[in-house]
Amino acid sequence: MDRASNFKGEEINSDVIHGTDQRFTVGKLIEDLTVELENAQASIAQWKNEIIHGDRLKLQMGNLKTKKQESLKIRRAAYKNFENQVHRRASEPFEHP
């Protein structure tokens, strides 16, 4: 872009757009480079947005994991309490009414 902007002639050879030397008018090359730059910036912005979304999702999933682990601990403790009650009842002598 700098080379094209500072070029004094009307036509310029460049391989920056298609990878092989091509002849452009300076105005057309600057126009094409501007479009490519805007496309690249849009892609970068989209990738950054996806990273931000992924980071937020990672944080949310980490928080959810912590909550679920706490809930699981509570359920396991309740189940263990239930098992202990069953064991105590099973070891008590059986009384007929």
Q: Assign 9 to helix, strand or coil.
A: coil
32-80 confidence digits (pLDDT tens): 999 999 999 999 999 999 999 999 999 999 999 999 999 999 999 999 9
**Which DSSP category does 24 fall into?**
E
Q: Roughly how many angstroms between the first and final C-alpha of the chain, as a whole number?
A: 98
Of 54 and 14, which is predicted with more confidence?
54
Grade residue 93 by pLDDT with cuts at 50, 70 and 90. Answer: confident
Do residues 10 and 30 make contact, with C-beta atoms less than 8 angstroms apart?
no
